[in-house]
């Protein structure tokens, strides 16, 4: 993690080089700011560009760049596969949301700014090109243009002072998530237990502790306890139902409903009910999802034939980046408190397992073998919604998340999805 104390900027240890895949120009609705609308309204276009005069789509009083019926942005050149604004008028003319992506910038501890690149971008998942720290000058301009508000408040921080939070997050990162001796399922399970136990210790104790001495022994004890735990029982039917409700919320792409009217919303509601109650098709929620119906029973019960060889390193990298940049709680995740935010972050693991299983089943229904491409798809799909999908901020989904983040329920979910039992 690159730290520059003078300007209080925390930048994730990631690499990024745009590959012009056009993915962010499809089924991705960018919010329009007043300055964006003013610039776009003055642009001159050739007749062959076929850019409509009305470039704004309004939903719930929020304005977005309009899209075509095929899901592409009206400024996307389908022949050349790139942005016509960028190609004809220059990068600086593009809406701010387009220019900033895939960077995610928030105000974090002590109002310093935190920067990471979102994993729903294929180029970010490839982790190639220059480091994010080399884009510091560009990031500084984005921070100024975004006019980001204050950092974590006392509620987000659970009453902890900044130094205690830094030590807690660094300890979970170094001793648990990044431990070379722990397999990914063991590491995330131990981290979930650590979040629960840390909350039980109380604010006063953690603020007054000697973190270097206490945290190391505490976290090593948590890891040892997690390794000594007996295999959990099978996930219950109620837990399966809860999980499918949350999984559907993560996988649906509500932005694709813009301009679809009541009929489109009715079709979406039916697709949601089918997913939760019986056999559903992820493709109904977005073009990037596999086009195959699968019953929730199959999602849990099909064994993974290469379980011991599955490479979860990409998922682990996503977790490490969000810990490095504190982008899992506070204003990075609908103002979730520190402990709950960490549990929400770790809850993405069973969600990623489920998405990878579905992607693999679409390739070969009777022999479930998880390949790197399945994990790559799953990480991108789940990270797309984390901290962004408004539906996840609703009280009902927060309640479901708390129930599934319970230590015993979490262990059952991970065990059942990995073992197919």
Quick: pLDDT tens for 316-363.
Answer: 999 999 999 999 999 999 999 999 999 999 999 999 999 999 999 999
**Residue of higher predicted confidence among 208 and 33:** 33
Indicate whether 47 pLDDT > 90: no
Peptide bond into 147 cis (omega under 30): no
**Residue of higher predicted confidence among 410 and 144:** 410
Report d(CA 179, CA 172) in Å as an integer. 10
Half-sphere exposure of 79 (CA within 13 A, CB side): 5
Whether the CB-CB separation of 119 and 380 falls below 8 Å is answered with yes
The whole-number pLDDT of residue 365 equals 87
Cα distances from 114 to residues 72, 74, 83, 192, 334, in angstroms, run 30, 32, 28, 23, 16
Query: Mean per-residue pLDDT for 254-277?
Result: 83
Indicate whether 78 pLDDT > 60: yes
Indicate whether 111 pLDDT > 90: no
- Report pLDDT digits (tens) over 98-107: 999 999 999 9
The whole-number pLDDT of residue 211 equals 59
Quickly state the pLDDT bin for 5 (edges 50, 70, 90).
very low
Please report, rounded to a whole number, the percentage of residues in the chain having pLDDT higher than 70.
96
Q: Is 261 helix (H, G, I), strand (E, B) or coil?
A: helix
Report d(CA 13, CA 321) in Å as an integer. 7
Among 187, 192, 169, 238, which Cα is nearest to 405's? 192
Indicate whether 210 pLDDT > 80: no
**Residue of higher predicted confidence among 262 and 364:** 364
Query: Mean per-residue pLDDT for 125-153?
Result: 90
Q: Highest mean pLDDT range out of 19-23, 291-295, 353-357?
A: 353-357
Report d(CA 328, CA 154) in Å as an integer. 16
Whether the CB-CB separation of 344 and 328 falls below 8 Å is answered with yes
The whole-number pLDDT of residue 50 equals 87
pTM of the predicted model as reported, rounded to 2 decimal places: 0.94
Cα distances from 343 to residues 12, 109, 126, 230, in angstroms, run 21, 19, 26, 22
- Mean pLDDT value across the chain: 91
Indicate whether 167 pLDDT > 60: yes
Indicate whether 2 pLDDT > 70: no
């Amino acid at each position: 993690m690159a730290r520059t104390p003078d300007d209080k900027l925390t930048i994730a240890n990631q690499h990024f080089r745009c590959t012009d895949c056009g993915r962010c120009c499809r089924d991705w609705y960018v919010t329009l700011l007043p300055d964006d609308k003013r610039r776009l309204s003055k642009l001159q276009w050739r007749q062959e560009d076929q850019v409509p005069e009305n470039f704004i789509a309004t939903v719930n009083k929020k304005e977005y760049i309009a899209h075509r019926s095929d899901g592409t942005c009206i400024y996307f050149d389908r022949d050349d596969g790139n942005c016509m604004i960028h190609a004809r008028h220059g990068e600086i003319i593009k809406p701010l949301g387009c220019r900033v992506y895939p960077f995610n910038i928030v105000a974090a501890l002590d109002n310093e700014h935190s920067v990471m690149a979102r994993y729903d971008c294929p180029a970010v998942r490839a982790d190639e090109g220059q480091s994010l720290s080399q884009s510091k000058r560009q990031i500084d301009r984005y921070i100024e243009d975004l006019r980001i508000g204050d950092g974590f408040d006392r509620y987000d921080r659970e009453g902890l002072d900044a130094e205690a939070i830094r030590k807690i997050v660094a300890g979970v990162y170094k001793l648990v998530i990044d431990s070379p001796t722990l397999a990914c399922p063991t590491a995330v399970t131990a981290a979930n237990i650590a979040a629960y136990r840390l909350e039980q210790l109380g604010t006063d104790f953690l603020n007054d502790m000697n973190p270097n001495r206490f945290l190391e022994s505490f976290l090593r004890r948590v890891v040892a306890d997690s390794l000594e735990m007996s295999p959990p029982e099978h996930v219950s039917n109620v837990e399966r139902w809860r999980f499918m409700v949350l999984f559907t919320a993560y996988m649906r792409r509500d932005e694709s409903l813009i301009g679809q009217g009541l009929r489109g919303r009715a079709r979406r509601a039916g697709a949601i009910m089918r997913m939760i109650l019986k056999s559903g098709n992820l493709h109904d929620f977005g073009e990037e999802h596999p086009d195959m119906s699968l019953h929730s029973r199959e999602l849990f019960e099909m064994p993974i034939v290469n379980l011991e060889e599955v490479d979860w390193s990409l998922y682990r990298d996503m977790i490490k980046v969000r810990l490095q940049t504190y982008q899992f709680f506070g204003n990075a995740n609908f103002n979730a408190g520190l402990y709950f935010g960490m549990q929400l972050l770790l809850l993405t693991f069973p969600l990623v397992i489920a998405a990878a299983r579905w992607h693999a089943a679409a390739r070969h229904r009777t022999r479930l073998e998880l390949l790197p491409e399945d994990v790559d798809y799953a990480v991108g799909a789940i990270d797309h919604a984390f901290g962004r999908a408004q539906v996840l901020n609703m009280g009902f989904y927060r309640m479901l998340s708390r129930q599934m983040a319970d230590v015993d329920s979490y262990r059952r979910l991970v065990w059942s999805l990995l073992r197919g039992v």
